[in-house]
Amino acid sequence: MSYLDKYTLIEERDISEINSRARLFEHKKTGARVLSLTNQDENKVFSINFRTPPKDNTGVPHILEHSVLCGSRKYKVKEPFVELLKSSLQTFLNAVTFPDKTCYPVASQNLQDFYNLMDVYLDSVFFPRITRHIFEQEGWHYELENLDSPLKYKGVVFNEMKGAYSSPDSLLADYSQQSIFPDSTYGFDAGGDPQAIPDLTYDDFVDFHKKLYHPSNAFIFFYGDNPEQERLEKLAEYLDQFSRMDADSSIVPQQKKNLNQRLVKTYSASADSSSKTYLTINWLLPETHDPELNLSLRILDFILTGMPASPLRKALIDSGLGEDLTGAGLETDILQMYYSTGLKGIEPANLGKVEKLINSTLDQLAAQGIDPEIITAAINSLEFALRENNTGSFPRGLAVMFRALTTWLYDHSPFILLEFSRTLDGIKSKINTGEKVFEQLIRKYLLDNTHRSVVILEPDPGLGAVIQEKEDLRLQEVRLRLSQEDLQDIVQNTAELKQAQARPDDPAELARIPRLKRADLEKELRITPKQEGEAEGVRFLFHPQPTAGIFYLDLGFDLHFLPREYLAYVPLFGRALLEMGTARHDFVRMTTRIRQKTGGISPVTFTHTRMGGQDGVCYLFLRGKSLPENTSELFHIIKEIIADVDLDNRERFRQIVLEEKAGMEQSLIPAGHRFVGMRLKAGSSEADWAQEQMSGISYLLFLRKLTARIDSDWDQVLRELKEIRRLLFHKKALLANLTAEQESFQSNLELFKGFAENLPQLDLASSSWVTAWPSSREAIIIPAQVNYVGKSINLEQTGYTFHGSSLVATRLLRAGWLWDQVRVQGGAYGAFGSYDHLSGVMAFASYRDPNILDTLKAFDGSGTFLMSEGMDGDEVEKAVIGAIGEMDSYQLPDARGFSSTARHLAGITQEYRQAIRDQILSSTLDHFKEFGRALDKGLKNSPDMICIMGGEAQVDKAAEELNLENRFRLL
């Protein structure tokens, strides 16, 4: 029997925009929908997706997403997902809950590894164990250590969502969406409201899986260079075990009405903070499947707020009524699109002014027209992004899948938004004939649209305490209703759950999880070709790569030509170059020109410890890209920016500073572990100190002071900015990276020479910075319901000499000990451990963590874990595979060129990298134990650094017990 006998071919076509042969199937027996895209991309993608609209706020789709990956019919271990993380060459491995769907995507460049991942995921979603203990671990449960202990809620998703609900930006996004979908599934939170999660019963949880995790409700996706026949045959092995059923997952559209809702909500803020109010206006739009409307609205979104010169963005920022834009912009990933925009950091008295300004600006644009150059810039930006399809480290196939699901999930063709060329040409044609396409869209879908809402989010210093009091009261009421026998049952269940979590998996069951062997791994390092040269006194690197004609230009300026006190200015200076205009063009015209003629120019700070010492590599890069016909324009733009940037615009610079400050404050809670990690490492090397100065808490504190200085001492601020420009823009400071196809190298090199000859030749000296770090143990208070806990030590001080096996050991720590102790048993959403072999620092951090002291104890047990007798060679084997997968992570051509340049700057040679690879491949249990001994010695005897960040009550208690030297409030 042919594999095609099991499927009905619905449609097939070649899609030139993604260079793929596309075939859409239906599995005959079950009705499962299958989209198969075949192309030359070696980074293969598979995903099985289910339509999972929630009917309440208990978070059942999210909890189920976690739970199905905790063991299955074929793979009877606690967490096959974690075993895959340990032992796969995966380039993507995760699961994601959306407002109306749950996706289980995997990706790998290795064919056998790809099918291994696919098999584990298919068995997990269709035949999960989802026992009561798994539900309790991942979702929620009552925890009671003994009859005298306080009754608590615990669960991974419960704590994850406590973190999400601590972020005002996350809350605002949820409230904005829910406000315009009062009668729809989108009025609920699929992730789960922490106050509603304990309402979810185990029976409802199991029933949700039974009804919706079935092939008849599946949307299955393949992408890459593997043969279609093999894909579909392996898939059929699972699908054939089911029969067709009526899986009712339909989503009823929100009926448009005269809504005009005004919703006022609050978020948790500190009593002595300067937290201000947020406002969004939100409009319900049509469904996603009209390609012209969908693409036109995406262009309109970019026109309105996507560029610094965008008219709505500019009006809001120039008004001085708030600190930065907020709102989701155009949301296209659910059944009905919506548009959301507004301001954050508003004084309450100005709320009406903000609302009026948004409406009046839109009215003016609709009535008087939009600048044609802004329209051209928006269309070019979107078209460049669609054609380049540059997804960074995110697999291209996954981006294609999410675009297909935007229509496919709602029973329309998955090809509607993949084939964008004809639609885009049609829109351009209308513009060229003078039709007011975007003005009409503003009028019809925004100004005349009565299905809209205004959401106001106000700071409430007492909200955190109120939420905790509600939780405590609820638990007290539960306890009063329970008999002694009931409470004893909870004590017993708590003990049984912990025993189950701590119980090691059966080695025979672990062996059933498919994986590669060490012998299957490539011994030799993949090398990115590199040519070094000099033109007009400027060093350059050229990386020949298949870039589909796109030219990538990275201009790096050595920050060591700056004094240390200027370093925190650098991210602002990078933005100022591109957003302040020049002597010849104001910032509106310059930013518009960049969007019209290039694929974008971005400032990027780069820091790295240099091989063989503690001094750092610190650069400001201007990263640009263009099509061949516009490469000369790219150089001309950068030349004008460097030569003639207009820094003397106090109001514009103030706007940039306020946006940076608001962005930093917004990211503190969602990315608390990153800030903690930077604080921990800042005292260990010059590069780490510099990174913290430019993107960590020190940078936020600098921005707050600078905001005041702009008003009180602008002349001095301007002098410092001009001095930075003088010290950076000369031939000696520059290293350029060119990434393009070999045949275009010569013409691009000539353009680079023309650019380089105009740079001044200055005889300036670079120097190292004195980087004393003031505190090694600190507690930071933020208004959050969860914590971020970090600890670090310097292993070089224990006498440990770096060996590549340490990178294997730390992978096992993350996916083994830390996962089990901090996440599974501790209830945190995540835990991390990394060893920087250049600085010698081993750093630990937790994410959305209900604990502090217990987490630090878990960190302290890491060395003992690696030395334990329970460690076996099979664990080493798995971790070796995962470490090689990390070393061989998939990169697109521009990223390969930039990574090679980064290694060049840091002095990391191919020979050194190959030696590390050889050491990884030869790792043994003895290496693990050696690293474990050094780690244990360091954790017990060496000076450590501790940084904890979280809610006031827990942080204060932990700070006192730990005798932390420094304690301060950040928000």
Tokens of 293: 């409307």
Cα–Cα distance measured from residue 166 to residue 668, given in angstroms and rounded to the nearest whole number: 10
Which residues, other chains included, contact 274 with Cβ-Cβ below 8 Å and sequence gap of 6+?
none
Tell me whether residue 11 is one of the annotated catalytic residues.
Answer: no
What CA–CA distance (Å, rounded) separates 778 from 535?
Answer: 49
The DSSP 8-state label assigned to residue 369 in this structure reads: -
Q: Which of 65, 355, 458, 796 is catalytic?
A: 65
Residue 250's contacts (CB-CB under 8 Å, 6 or more residues apart) are none
Alpha carbon distances (Å) from 157 to 327, 347, 524, 923: 25, 34, 41, 36
Q: How large is the C-alpha radius of gyration of the chain?
A: 28
Per-residue CA distances from 259 to 179, 182, 451 (Å):
9, 10, 5
Task: Name the nearest CA neighbour of 868 among 606, 504, 542, 385.
Answer: 504
Q: Give long-range contacts, CB 8 A cutoff, 24+ apart: 819-823.
A: 819/79, 819/82, 820/501, 820/502, 821/858, 821/861, 822/846, 822/849, 822/851, 822/855, 822/858, 823/156
Report how far residue 670's alpha carbon sits from residue 665's, in angstroms, rounded to the nearest whole number.
10
Cβ–Cβ < 8 Å for 549, 621: no
CA-to-CA distance for 322 and 344, rounded, in angstroms?
A: 6
The rounded Cα 586 to chain-centroid distance in angstroms is: 33
Nearest to 738 by CA among 949, 575, 901: 901
Give CA separation, 643 vs 551, 590, 593, 639, 809, in Å. Answer: 22, 14, 17, 6, 50
User: Rounded to whole angstroms, how far apart are CA atoms 736 and 560?
Assistant: 16
Q: Identify whether the C-beta of residue 8 lies closer than 8 Å to the C-beta of residue 23.
A: no
Tokens of 827: 């209830």
Active-site residue identified among 79, 83, 138, 160: 138
CB 964 within 8 A of CB 777: yes
CA distance 30 to 246: 10
* Cβ partners under 8 Å of residue 577, min gap 6: 603, 622, 641, 642, 645
Q: Where are the alpha helices (DSSP H) in 819-861?
A: 853-860
- Only one residue has tokens 């998996």, namely 505
Residue reference for tokens 């929100």:
254
Annotated active-site residue 138? The verdict is yes
DSSP label of 526 = P
Q: Which of helix, strand or coil describes residue 509? A: helix
Q: Tokens at residue 486, please?
A: 């009931």
Could you give the CA distance from residue 788 to residue 770 in angstroms, rounded to a whole number?
Answer: 29
Q: Are 655 and 634 in contact (CB under 8 A)?
A: no
Could you give the CA distance from residue 721 to residue 728 in angstroms, rounded to a whole number? 11
Amino acid, single-letter form, for residue 555: L
Which residues, 6 or more positions from 888, have their beta carbon under 8 angstroms from its beta carbon?
A: 89, 109, 522, 526
Residues 760 and 785: their CA atoms lie apart, in Å, by 53
From the DSSP assignment, how many helices (H) and strands (E) are in the chain? 35, 27
Q: Name residues whose C-beta falls within 8 Å of residue 293's C-beta, 6 or more positions apart in sequence.
A: 286
Q: Give CA–CA dist 698/775, Å, rounded.
A: 12
Who's near 358: CB < 8 A, 6+ residues apart? 281, 312, 316, 341, 342
SS3 449: coil
CA-angle at 553, arms to 910 and 748, nearest 5°:
100
Q: How far apart are CA 29 and CA 211, in angstroms?
A: 17
Q: Which residues are catalytic?
A: 65, 138
